[in-house]
Amino acid sequence: MLELGRAHDHLQADGLRLVEAAGRSPGAPVPSCPEWDAAALVVHTSAVHHWAAGILRHRATDRPARDVPEAVTADWVAADAWYREGLALVAGALADTDPDTPVWNFVDGVPAPAAFWSRRMAQETSVHRVDAELAAWAAGAGPPPGPIDHELAADGIEECARMVDARLRHRARPGFTGSLGLAATDGPWEWTLALAPDHLGVRPGSAGALDVVRAPVSTLRLWLVHRPDPAVAPPVVDGPGTVAGRWADVAL
């Protein structure tokens, strides 16, 4: 798991990049989240930041409501200010909370170490930062999205596997089977995801997997959550592609 101080650094850096990218064209459609424009993406991400900050500050042991002030949904200046407030709040709450403090999270469903939220906020924000930069780029208001940091991307792959495993244990997917390898082309990172209808296993190495997806580690991370990476070539799939296709049907 990513060291918590590094997770907090990534949250801050990606968090600021997200709102700056969105601010270049707040009304731009987000290709990877077609139901949103860039301003709506900012509001969504800020709602998550405010929500997580509240869970940590109040040591919540049950799922709290997630609220969005009506004013921020209709005005970019208000959305920008609310976002920056939420980023500061969640960063402060993470810094002030012992990582072993038990608080609620949506994967465990019960109080568990607060360190969950350090990782989750860094990962959520990094992917939505890519979404915001993709929207600005598609609108001609910025360069293509920058890659996710190597260590953050590798950690995100492992976190994604854990989250999908939790979903499958809650609701099985018949026919979700096979071995899916992930092999980074820019570093030593390799995994095999063992798909099963009611769980997802993960182990180091990709040898023996039916399909192996090869790409830079940031691109692999984005591929797992169905995001394009226009700055690099698409991932290469070694194998028949059947297991990779099953993953493409997973809602994330």
Q: What is the 3-state secondary structure (H, E, C) of 13-51?
A: HHHHHHHHHHHHCCCCECCCCCCCEHHHHHHHHHHHHHH
Q: Which two tokens stand for residue 108?
A: 């465990």
Instruction: Give the pLDDT confidence score for residue 48 in this predicted structure.
Output: 98
Calpha distance 115→173 (Å, rounded)? 29
- For the chain, the structural domain boundaries read 4-138, 150-248
Collapse the DSSP code of 173 into the 3-class scheme (helix H, G, I; strand E, B; otherwise coil) and give the result. coil
Structure tokens belonging to residue 181 = 């390898």
Class of domain 4-138: mainly alpha
Looking at residue 158, its pLDDT comes to 97
Query: How far is CA 153 from each of CA 101, 123, 171, 194, 205, rounded to the nearest angstrom?
Result: 26, 8, 27, 20, 16
Instruction: State yes or no: pLDDT of 1 exceeds 90.
Output: no
Q: How far is CA 208 from the centre of its chain?
A: 28
pLDDT category, 241, cuts 50, 70, 90?
A: very high
For residue 250, pLDDT beyond 90? no
Tokens for 186, please give them.
């820019």
* Bridge pairing between strands 178-184 and 190-196: antiparallel
**Tokens read off for 129:** 């930062």
246: number of Cβ within 10 Å:
17
Element (H, E) at 118: helix 115-138
Structure token digits, residue 105: 């999270």
pLDDT at 115: 97
Q: What is the mean pLDDT of the chain?
A: 96
pTM of the predicted model over 0.85: yes
Q: What pLDDT was estimated at residue 231? A: 86
Question: Would you call 186 exposed, middle or buried from its count of C-beta atoms within 10 A (0-12, 13-18, 19+)?
Answer: middle
Model pLDDT for residues 14-57, shown as the tens digit of each residue? 999 999 999 999 999 999 999 999 999 999 999 999 999 999 99
Residue 186 predicted with pLDDT over 90:
yes
CA 142, CA 152: separation in Å to the nearest integer?
23
Q: Is residue 252 scored above 90 in pLDDT?
A: no
Inter-residue contact 61 to 103 (CB < 8 Å): yes
- The architecture in CATH of the region 150-248 reads 2-Layer Sandwich (3.30)
49 φ/ψ angles, rounded to the nearest 5 degrees: -60, -50
The confidence score (pLDDT) of residue 61 equals 95
73-92, pLDDT tens digit by residue?
999 999 999 999 999 999 99
Single out the residue of 193, 128, 125, 203 nearest to residue 164, CA to CA: 193
pLDDT of residue 155: 98
Rounded Cα distance, 165 and 201, in Å = 7
Cβ contact 131:142 at 8 Å: no
Q: Bridge partners of 218?
A: none
Decide if pLDDT at 251 tops 80: no
